């Protein structure tokens, strides 16, 4: 990705460069045309002035012929010759090139020529004059070099100004962006954008204020509803669970009635577990846990392994452990224990019978690896109530709880699939 100023500057520079390239031949055409027009005017004046001066001398015909012969000899770029009345034609202006015999270089020079009929002593003469055209190629080359020089100056100045403007004009926008990057709905902190005298930035800030205010209000309402609903459901769920337990103990139940009651009890147990998990998530969101405790992570891990040892044996899962001693981190013991249990239970649930699980703990990483067949969908991995397998016993909130616990402790959880193993790693 590129900064906004870079995206606007690049097309501008390309446009200016194209205009510059087009302007060079235009310069050539315009300058060459101006010079030709000036030379045509110059030649016209020379012809008229020369004819006027000869007429003022009032020479005899013989003296005039000698004077014209001398003139043609000492003025090689002009020629005056006597013509008959039937040879009189319109003025002719043209350009041609020729080699100069007195220059050693094989170089052609351009000339602007004029053929005009003048009257000397009331007799027609054809006056031909040739004037050398200055080398427009060299002039245009110099103009092009100067233009390119100023183009480079403009580009360097523009880049410098863009950099300066980027740090001053765009400062309020960058401050607003930094505030948004660090803003978190869970933190419940208010956000203050810097004041700006730029209309667009101020409108952006006001719009963001309104958007954030609505989102915070909606988020608080949702959290309150989730927490209240979870609290209110706890008691009736517990009562129904107790009644079902009593019903299941009744000796007069038929087999069909017992099966129905058992299915109800399983569904109720799952509902109660979902409700507890939702309540746990609400408490984490509301920062209702102390985060300043010293956690003996290795001790909690050994404790969880001992508790869940029966589950490993039931599915004949081989367990490999690499646990460092005295791994201590700062956080909440209850949440850390829940994280460890959820990761291990999740690995056991999704490992086929006879599979393998590996647990690794160092001072910086806690890693749980279990055998599997194909990679999980990472887009749905940590979403609430997303199902990544056909197992219906889970609540669909285990990995979401793990992620929220990691956020609470400022830890990072990642997932990868290597060598037919699902690997969840928590960076402590």
Region 114-133 average pLDDT: 90
Give residue 389's pLDDT band: very low, low, confident or very high (50, 70, 90). Answer: low
Nearest to 358 by CA among 338, 373, 343, 380: 343
CB within 8 A of 15, min separation 6: which ones? Answer: none
pLDDT at 137: 67
pLDDT over 80 (residue 409): yes
DSSP assignment string, 81-114: EE--GGG----EEEEEEEE-TT-SS--EEEEEEE
* pLDDT for residue 414 is more than 90: yes
Band of pLDDT at residue 234, cut at 50, 70 and 90: confident
**Beta strand ranges found along 101-228 (DSSP E):** 108-120, 123-132
pLDDT higher than 90, residue 412: yes
Burial of 13 (0-12, 13-18, 19+ CB in 10 A): middle
Evaluate if pTM is beyond 0.85: no
- pLDDT confidence tier of residue 255, bands split at 50, 70 and 90: confident
Q: Is the pLDDT of residue 393 over 60?
A: no
Q: What is the pLDDT of residue 427?
A: 93
Task: Report the DSSP pairing between strands 318-323 and 328-331.
Answer: unpaired
pLDDT higher than 60, residue 295: yes
**Residues contacting residue 277 through CB under 8 Å, at least 6 positions apart:** 395, 397, 398, 401
Q: In the prediction, which pLDDT does 142 show? A: 80
The average pLDDT across 74-78 equals 84
Residue 185 has pLDDT above 80, yes or no: no
Over pLDDT 90: what percentage of the chain?
Answer: 25
pLDDT for residue 171: 80
Using pLDDT thresholds of 50, 70 and 90, give the confidence band for residue 136: low
pLDDT at 424: 94
Spatial distance between the Cα atoms of 64 and 121, rounded to a whole number of angstroms:
9
**Domains by residue range for the chain, with CATH:** 4-152 (3.30.450), 199-285 (1.10.287.130), 293-427 (3.30.565.10)
Q: Is the predicted pLDDT of residue 423 greater than 90, yes or no?
A: yes
| pLDDT above 70 as % of the chain | 90
Count CB-CB contacts under 10 A for residue 53. Answer: 9
pLDDT at 228 over 80: no
Does pLDDT of 135 surpass 70?
A: no
- Residues 340-357 have pLDDT tens digits of 999 999 899 889 899 999
- Residues 6 or more apart whose CB falls under 8 angstroms from that of 321 comprise 305, 358, 359, 360
Average pLDDT, the chain: 83
What mean pLDDT do residues 77-81 have? 89
pLDDT on residue 395 = 55
Tell which wins on pLDDT, 388 or 350: 350
* H/E element, 380: none
pLDDT of residue 27: 79
Per-residue pLDDT for 248 more than 90? no
CA distance 194 to 335: 38
- At residue 258, the pLDDT reads 82
Average pLDDT (22-34) is: 82
Query: For residues 37 and 399, what is the distance between their CA atoms, to the nearest angstrom?
Result: 87
């Amino acid at each position: 990705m590129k900064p906004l100023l870079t995206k606007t500057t690049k097309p501008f520079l390309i446009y200016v460069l194209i205009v510059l390239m087009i302007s060079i031949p235009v310069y050539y055409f315009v300058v060459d045309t101006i010079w030709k027009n000036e030379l045509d005017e110059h030649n016209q004046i020379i012809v008229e002035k020369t004819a006027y001066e000869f007429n003022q001398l009032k020479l005899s015909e013989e003296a005039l012929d000698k004077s014209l012969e001398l003139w043609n000899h000492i003025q090689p770029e002009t020629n005056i010759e006597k013509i008959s009345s039937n040879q009189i034609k319109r003025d002719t202006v043209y350009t041609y090139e020729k080699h100069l015999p007195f220059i050693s270089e094989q170089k052609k020079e351009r000339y602007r020529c004029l053929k005009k009929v003048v009257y000397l002593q009331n007799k027609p003469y054809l006056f031909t004059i040739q004037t050398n055209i200055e080398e427009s190629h060299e002039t245009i080359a110099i103009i092009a070099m100067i233009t390119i020089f100023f183009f480079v100056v403009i580009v360097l100045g523009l880049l410098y100004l863009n950099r300066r403007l980027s740090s001053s004009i765009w400062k309020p926008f960058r401050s607003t962006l930094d505030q948004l990057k660090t803003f978190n709905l869970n933190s419940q902190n208010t956000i203050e954008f810097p004041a700006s005298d730029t209309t667009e930035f101020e409108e952006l800030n006001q719009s963001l204020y309104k958007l954030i205010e609505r989102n915070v209000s909606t988020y608080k309402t949702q959290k309150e509803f989730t927490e209240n609903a979870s609290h209110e459901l706890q008691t009736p769920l517990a009562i129904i669970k107790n009644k079902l337990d009593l019903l299941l103990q009744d000796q007069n139940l038929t087999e069909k009635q017992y099966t129905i009651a058992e299915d109800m009890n399983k569904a109720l147990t799952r509902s109660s577990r979902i409700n507890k998990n939702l309540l746990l998530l609400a408490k984490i969101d509301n920062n209702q846990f102390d985060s300043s405790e010293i956690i003996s992570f290795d001790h909690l891990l050994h404790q969880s392994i001992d508790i869940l040892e029966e589950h490993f044996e039931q599915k004949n899962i081989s367990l490999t452990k690499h646990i460092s001693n005295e791994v201590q981190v700062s956080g909440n013991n209850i949440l850390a224990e829940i994280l460890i249990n959820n990761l291990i239970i999740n690995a056991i649930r999704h490992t086929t019978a006879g599979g393998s699980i590996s647990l690794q703990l160092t001072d910086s990483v806690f890693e749980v690896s279990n055998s599997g067949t194909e990679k999980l969908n990472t887009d749905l991995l940590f979403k609430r109530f997303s199902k990544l397998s056909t197992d219906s016993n889970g609540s669909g909130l285990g990995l979401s709880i793990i992620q929220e616990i990691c956020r609470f402790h400022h830890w990072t959880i990642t997932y990868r699939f290597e060598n037919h193993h699902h690997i969840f790693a928590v960076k402590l």
